[in-house]
């Protein structure tokens, strides 16, 4: 099976936004509380708190904090799975003799998504998605899923002032035999983005350089703002939006290049560059 994910923009109304923000904040709060529990247990008694222990305590959490009833149970379980994965990495580094720090607590600007499993959501045609505990939200479903796709998870992610639905799915592997009549090699460069073995040059897009110049200026403005002020928050949002624009421009450029290559050639070969070795050789 091959794994893929599609990303669709959501268009929530005010009620949906309130529920999305509340779910995100409660997920962050649960993550930090569960992390504190694990850290204290390890520091005081060298006791490793398991995922199962914390998942079983969710019933008690909902009794003490009724607002957690408004969050899908498996969303809360996924929060604890994320933490468990991070804590396992901490112990793995510890066993290897490193000096690892504990996983970090998540601030409001550093916890940006929550996840549903296969259940708890479904598409209603091409323009709506029904999400348990959230409601029916308009969605821009700009591409169809491949035939035989099996949904795995739905991740709802906040990116600055926008919300997205990221659907992960699996499809059976295909091993079709294709006659190779037109092959090409790719050399990724610095001056040009890439040079093909048939002499074709793919230049770096100029608009990326312009956007990166705007980013540098926005970062300078941000660094001069006093911490805790509204002006600094506005500057932070501007920097984040420029980052988003650059990421979108890069993704669009790479998608168009890859589409051009697969449409024109039957076989594309590229060199597996050993970046670390190159750096060592230069030194």
Give CA–CA dist 141/132, Å, rounded.
19
pLDDT > 50? residue 283: no
What are 3-58's pLDDT values in tens digits? 999 999 999 999 999 999 999 999 999 999 999 999 999 999 999 999 999 999 99
Mean pLDDT for the stretch of residues 106-125: 91
Torsion of CA 30, 32, 38, 40, to 10 degrees: -130
Give me the pLDDT at residue 200, please: 85
Q: What is the pLDDT of residues 238-255, one digit of tens each?
A: 999 999 888 888 889 998
**Per-residue tokens: 138:** 């308009």
> For the residues of 150-204, what is the DSSP string, one character each?
EEEEEEEEEETTEEEEEEEEEE-----------EEEEEE-SSSSEEETTS-EEPP
* Least confident residue range of 6-20, 56-70, 84-98: 84-98
When the pLDDT of each residue in the chain is averaged and rounded to a whole number, the result is 89
What does the pLDDT read at residue 272? 62
Provide mean pLDDT across the span 101-108.
90
Per-domain residue ranges of the chain:
183-276
| pTM metric for this prediction | 0.79
What pLDDT is recorded for position 276? 43
């Amino acid at each position: 099976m091959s794994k893929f994910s599609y990303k669709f923009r959501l268009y929530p109304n005010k009620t949906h936004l309130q529920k999305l923000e509340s779910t995100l904040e409660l997920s962050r709060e649960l993550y930090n509380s569960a992390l504190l529990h694990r850290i204290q247990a390890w520091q005081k008694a060298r006791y490793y708190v398991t995922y199962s222990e914390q998942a079983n305590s969710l019933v008690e959490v909902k009794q003490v904090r009724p607002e957690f009833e408004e969050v899908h149970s498996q969303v809360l379980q996924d929060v604890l799975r994320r933490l468990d994965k991070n804590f396992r990495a901490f112990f793995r580094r510890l066993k290897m003799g490193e000096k690892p720090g504990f996983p970090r607590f998540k601030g409001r600007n550093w916890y940006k998504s929550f996840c549903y499993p296969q259940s708890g959501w479904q598409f209603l045609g091409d323009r709506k998605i029904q999400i348990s505990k959230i409601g029916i939200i308009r969605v821009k479903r700009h591409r169809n899923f491949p035939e035989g796709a099996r949904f795995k998870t739905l991740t709802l992610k906040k990116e600055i002032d926008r919300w997205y639905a990221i659907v992960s799915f699996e499809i059976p592997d295909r091993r079709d035999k294709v006659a190779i009549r037109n092959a090409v090699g790719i050399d990724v460069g610095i001056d040009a983005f890439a040079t093909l073995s048939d002499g074709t040059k793919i230049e770096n897009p100029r608009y990326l350089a312009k956007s990166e110049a705007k980013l540098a200026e926005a970062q300078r403005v941000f660094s001069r703002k006093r911490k805790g002020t509204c002006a600094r928050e506005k500057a932070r949002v501007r920097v984040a939006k420029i980052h988003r624009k650059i990421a979108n421009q890069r993704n669009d450029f790479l998608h168009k290049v890859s589409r051009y290559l697969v449409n024109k050639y039957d076989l594309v070969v590229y060199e597996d560059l050993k970046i670390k070795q190159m750096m060592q050789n230069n030194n």
